[in-house]
A and B are shown apart, each in its own frame.
Chain A
Amino acid sequence: MPDVTITGLTKRFGDVAAVAGLDLAVRPGELVALLGPSGCGKTTTLRLVAGFMAPEAGEIRVGERVLSSAGFVIPPERRRMAMIFQSYALWPHMTVAQNVAYGLRFARTPRAERSGRVDEMLRAVQLAGYGARYPGELSGGQQQRVAVARALVVEPEILLLDEPLSNLDASLREEMRFEIRRLHERFGITTLYVTHDQAEAMVISDRVAVLRGGRVVQVGPPAELFERPRTRFVAEFIDKTNLIDAVADGAASVARGPLRLRVAAGGLVPGAAAVVSIRPHQIALAPRAAAPAPPPGANALAGTVIRASYLGDSVDYQVAVEASDVVLRVIGPTPARARAGEPVAVTVPAEACVLLPPED
């Protein structure tokens, strides 16, 4: 399996740079998700990699082969890639088997082997026996599987997926996440996966590249992005978080008015602006009267519950911190520990307070 190297990739639409000097290296056999809000350039990047568009600057290499650079683009049909589209793009005038077999003609597969390969692949996506149906006769999830089979059967060097699950309903989407991950582990194809759904990106990928304004702002394994976001944008985009604008008042602590927090990192310059990110589920909460003593080194705060929402598997609180304008979001286990209006003790471990640069 070859690797994919993208350097300085730039694509403009009129005055707007959809992709602005994007760099990304995908290792052989790796699945990397391109994650970001709409308009961040993730789909444009994917279409540039596929060769549907020409970049204004930068380069896309697969292995040693340059596929795209300014003024030179190898057309998609000569890239040895496969792609799964948001709309699935199944050809309605061909049967499932014809759809899946289409690419084999160009992959130089001998005619005699083709139907065997198609059957084998349909079995792999659990659609054995559906070959003679037309796409219009299948459910959304089955259509999705046909699209996957059509892409994988040609044994592409690179697989591209453009929000492939966004047209499925919630439960099917969750099931297909695991399915795609399973197929990736089985075939090990170098894969780029575009999505705007952070949960999907976390489940499916080896590494996630978070895009913003046509650039990669952070790339890393899911856990790293979640636990150590490097920018305010990443912290907010990867799941819910509390962000507190503060000022450093020690090497490892920050303050916002009377509120002081010990943080994970050291080496702060007192007086410098800093932003602290705290994930809601890393905050502990108990009624003030019954609160246990906080572990040493943890931040112990007093507050009042403004709102407690029961969500079935968890309780979502809003807590106003005493003598401060900070309102923390806290997610705790059921049953609810406190009701609205109740005074509570709030415990935030220092390592849960992740420091971010003030602006990005």
Chain B
Amino acid sequence: MAVGAVSVGRRRLEGLDRAAPVWLLAAAALVLLILLPLGWLAYISVSGPQGLTLAHYARVLGDPPLQKALWNTVLLAFWSGLVALAIGAPMAWLSARTDLPGRRLLQSLVMASFVTPPFLGAFAWVMLAGPNAGYLNQLYRILTGGEAPLLNIFSMPGLIFVVAIYTFPYVYIMITNTLGLIASDLEDAAAILGAGRLQVAWTITLPMVLPAILSGFILAVLQALALFGSPAILALPAGFHTVTTQMWSFFQYPPRAELAAAFSIPLLLATALLLLAQKKLLGRRGYAAVGGKGGQRRAIRLGPWRYPALAGCLAVLACSVFLPYGILLKAAFARAWAQPLTRGNFTLENWSFTFLHGATQSAIVNTLELGVLTACVGAGLATLLAYVTNRRLIMGHQVLGFLALAPVVIPGVVLAVALFVAYTRPPFLLYGTLWILFLAYLTKEMPVGYSQADATMRGIHPELEEAGRILGAGRLRVLREITAPLARSGIIATWCFVFIGVIRELSASIILFTPNTKVISVVIFDLKEEGQFGAIAVLGVFMLVMTFATVALMQALLGRDVIGVRTSGGSG
């Protein structure tokens, strides 16, 4: 009997998956990361001094100024989505299907607008189109001798414009990806049956691209809903609020977290519903049918329209890249940014001020520390989680995949409110440290990191791992010696995506920072209050240089265009 018991015990031990603790730990980290703050957010929004209450909801939804903020957000999101569609769809078609000159360059410039932090663009546009000193308005006055400004960026149309020129890449990417999958034979098949060119476009091409068009529109709307920086810079001076700026103002002293929590739930629901609609749109049609074998794509000849079309594209890119980058560069080297850059006006003081000043210095250090830390932990955790879900290592692995993608629906401001509520009380007292920012970034970048890691893991045939195991290597050893080297470039890409996302983050940081834990984006926001445009420009240029350096590093390491494959994810 005793012998039998021992051998049964040894057998149990022999059969144990020794790597299981690693999987479970990764899963637990994710669950804690996502569910703890969201749970607190929901709880705080319905809890009052006398138990559960709906008073907070009644208050935020019944208050006319708050209703106005909600309505402003709806207006902003809808119109900027529409403008993004109007810009992005034609450009996508031109660059994917026509013989437009300079298509590769166009693509790179669209990607440059894509990675430009929207709040930087908004700053640049303050300098370009502010009613008094705005560069374009000065130019207009000189040219016409008029008194009234041509443009006023501090207005709802101005805000819509600035948001749209940085969200149109979402539409562009969705549509070029789909157009790239539609082979010309599908259109030829209709043409040979007698359909004219317009009929082909109307009956074949458009219906096939329609889901992509709609889902690109939805993605752009989602971005606009979640945006904090641009409304804060452009709407507040104009005297109106959006949901995100309103939530931020709930955190001005004294903080009213319960109101912010109640106000964030409608936003959360709206983004969740929109994302659901987008998934449905993309999921219904058999996109496997698109593509097929030997799909050749012919470029449509634009003829005399080539150059007008190119000019149109360049005009858009002038708004999103050339003009803003130009004014930022100029401001970085000018004593007075609104004056011409003469020898007398040229200075390097902005640079020395920025990099030698204690507050900005520590913000740069904080940002880089957080960027590297979040990218390392995020890429590691995302890779482990993608491994667990792809190889179905633990029960409930489908839930893990869902949880990892769930933060997509959480706007940065909402996430910040949730983290604030969750980590200003025991057992986790993290408010006031860099750790709460780290958690915010980790959560916010998890969907991007996870989808990248998931794609990487899908590309690694499980038999490659099984071949190692049957020869005697345990799971963790296989992960280290076989899977990790094969996933190397994918993991690097994940790291870079997370890093770029972190160094530009504003909407969560603006609520979670404390005087000792400022990051670059927050300092830029502060400097705006002081009117330090030169320093803002320097920090902005620094941020852009870091972003493009990371993209360049990634492309050099991976030897291909990686940004183009990313179609969803957050932005500052």
Contacts and interface: CB of A to CB of B under 8 A. Distances in A.
Contacts of A92: 486
Contact of B461 (A74, A87, A160): A87
Interface residues of B, number: 21
A89 B15 contact: no
Contact of B12 (A52, A72, A83, A102): A72
Nearest to B461: A87
A106 B471 CA distance: 7
Contacts of B12: 72
B486 A76 contact: no
Contacts of B343: none
A102 B463 contact: no
A75 interface: yes
Given A93-B486, A103-B472, A106-B473, A76 B466 contact: yes
Contact of A85 (B463, B472, B486): B463
A78 to B, nearest CB: 7
Contact of A83 (B466, B473, B474, B485): B466
A79 interface: yes
A105 interface: yes
Contact of A102 (B11, B17, B471): B471
A51 to B, nearest CB: 8
A79 B482 contact: no
Interface residues of A, number: 33
A85 B466 contact: yes
B471 A154 contact: yes
Given A78-B14, A89-B463, A93-B485, A150 B471 contact: yes
B486 A75 contact: no
Contacts of A238: none
Contacts of B59: none
A107 interface: yes
A305 interface: no
Given A72-B11, A72-B12, A160-B470, A91 B482 contact: yes
A107 B466 CA distance: 16
Contacts of A81: 470
Given A77-B474, A92-B486, A107-B472, A85 B14 contact: no
Given A91-B464, A91-B482, A93-B485, A83 B14 contact: no
Contacts of B474: 75, 77
B15 A77 contact: no
- Of the candidates B470, B471, B474, B486, the one having the most CB atoms from chain A within 10 angstroms of its own CB is B470
Given A83-B466, A87-B461, A73 B15 contact: yes
Interface string B451-470: 00000000001011011111
A156 to B, nearest CB: 8
Given A77-B472, A78-B14, A103-B472, A89 B467 contact: yes
Interface in A77-129: 77-83, 85-87, 89-93, 102-103, 105-107
Q: What 7 A-B pairs have minimum CB-CB distances, sorted nearest first? A: A106-B472, A103-B471, A89-B467, A89-B463, A76-B469, A85-B463, A83-B470
Interface of B: 11-12, 14-15, 17, 461, 463-464, 466-475, 482, 485-486
7 contacts: A76-B466, A77-B474, A78-B472, A87-B464, A91-B468, A102-B471, A150-B467
Given A85-B467, A106-B472, 11 more contacts: A50-B470, A74-B15, A87-B463, A89-B463, A92-B486, A93-B485, A93-B486, A102-B468, A102-B471, A154-B471, A160-B470
